[in-house]
Amino acid sequence: MTERTPTKRATPRIPLNTLAISFGITGLASLWSVMTAAFELSVAVPAVLWTVAGVTWVWLITAHLVRGAHSPETLLSQLKHPAQGPIAAIVPTVGMLLGAELYLIWPSGGFILALVAFLAAVVFAGWILAFWHTGHLNPEAFHGAYLLPTVASPLVASAVAARLGFPLVAVGAFAVGVFFWAVLVTVLLSRLAFFPPLPDPLTPTLAVLLAPPAVAGAAWFAMNGRHEDVVAASLLGLLALMAVVQLFLLGIYRRLPFSLGWWSFTFPAASAGAYAIEWTEMAAFPGWEVVAFALAGCVSALIVAIAIRSLFLVSSVHRGIHRAEQTLQRADDAAQRTTGTRPPLREEASPNPGIELHR
């Protein structure tokens, strides 16, 4: 009697949602850079945060590449996944922010990093827009992260280009970001209003609505100098409205079980806090310093709390990080499911066990 060799489960790729970790830490570093400039604080805090952001960015990219090399699922199929694909834009977006910061201490290295990240962001945005034109998506798969490649990346590129001395590039990127902001937020609000709710781990992507006015405001200040004008005030008004919307969503957020998807809260909160702090400094009303520190403290506490909960999550559950990733994978697959006749996005000739979920 021959013994049956136990089958080895395929190694899944790491969900792209985890890239939000580096995005959140980068946002926190940007916020404390704003605080340091406003109050002439020690540069030690933002320097440490930018270092952590850079290390986390490199570590996540490496982890995704190493795991991907042992997975039967291809990177292309992951990028075509309707829930995960757009999130890949975080990699070049964070790269541009890191490049702009590195430029302050190493101009040639920072410029090269920012340029490579900018070109990668442009190529990815063009590719994913073309892919969306093929009709393989369904409305229920649409979520807040769809704003990353076509809104967040161009607006970040605008701010970075202005800081590095390329004003025309900054204006062009700003126009792209604002255009797709108007288009995609309309689609997102329609999806949220007329289709079933997002899966729990993807619900935090609703916080991305905070980011466009804040990032656009930062880009506008970088292009035109920090002063009160019609555009800056308009962006502040939009940010205020989006903040009110988030307040009314707190009841939904509080009912969510914790997952790594909560990192989606971090960059929008940090970018909104940074833009609000810049406005409080400009307004210079009595007690503005207290308001600025309160905003920075609340955002920092949120991100630190999510980081600590994430560490507990991946260390306490059975099989650690792999089990924690499965929550994101379930959400991604739930968002992908359709009730119509659209064909699956994964290669049919080779089933994709990489995101098969094991309870």
Residue 345: CB atoms within 10 Å: 21
Region for 346 from its dihedrals, namely left if φ exceeds 0, alpha if ψ lies in -120 to 50, beta otherwise: beta
Cα gap 158→110, rounded to integer Å = 16
Cα gap 200→50, rounded to integer Å = 30
| pLDDT at residue 323, rounded to an integer | 56
Each of the 359 residues of the chain gets a pLDDT tens digit; together they read 444 444 445 688 899 999 999 999 999 999 999 999 999 999 999 999 999 999 999 999 999 999 999 889 899 999 999 889 999 999 999 999 999 999 999 999 999 999 999 999 999 999 999 999 988 788 888 999 999 999 999 999 999 999 999 999 999 999 999 999 999 999 999 999 999 998 888 899 999 999 999 999 999 999 999 999 999 999 999 999 999 999 999 999 999 999 999 999 999 999 999 999 999 999 999 999 999 999 999 999 999 999 999 999 888 654 555 555 656 665 566 655 543 434 433 333 333 333 333 33
| pLDDT at residue 1, rounded to an integer | 46
Cα gap 176→151, rounded to integer Å = 7
Residue 250: CB atoms within 10 Å: 9
Alpha helices per DSSP H over 87-229:
90-102, 107-132, 153-163, 167-194, 211-224
| Torsion sign (Cα): 219, 223, 225, 228 | negative
| pLDDT at residue 141, rounded to an integer | 86
| pLDDT at residue 138, rounded to an integer | 83
| pLDDT at residue 18, rounded to an integer | 93
Contact 125, 154 (CB under 8 A): yes
Q: Which of the 8 DSSP states describes residue 341?
A: -
Cα gap 359→357, rounded to integer Å = 6
- DSSP 3-state of 7: coil
Cα gap 320→27, rounded to integer Å = 27
Phi/psi for 166 (5° steps) reads -125, 75
Q: How many helices (H) and strands (E) does the chain have?
A: 12, 0
**How wide is the angle at C-alpha 191 spanned by C-alphas 188 and 195, nearest 5°?**
160
| Torsion sign (Cα): 149, 152, 158, 160 | negative
| pLDDT at residue 314, rounded to an integer | 83
Q: Which CATH number among 3.40.50.720, 1.10.486.10, 3.30.70.20, 1.50.10.150 corresponds to the domain 16-336?
A: 1.50.10.150
Q: Quick one: which H or E segment has residue 256?
A: none
What residue spans define the domains of the chain?
16-336
| pLDDT at residue 348, rounded to an integer | 38
| pLDDT at residue 200, rounded to an integer | 87
Q: Which of 162, 266, 164 is nearest to 216 (CA)?
A: 162
Phi/psi for 253 (5° steps) reads -60, -40
Q: Which of 338, 337, 329 is nearest to 359 (CA)?
A: 329
Residues 174-210 as b or e (16 or more Cβ within 10 Å = b): bebbbebbeebbeebeebbeeeeebbbbbbbbbbbbb
Phi/psi for 264 (5° steps) reads -65, -20
Q: Which two tokens stand for residue 88?
A: 């890949």
| Torsion sign (Cα): 185, 235, 93, 16 | negative
What is the length of the chain? 359
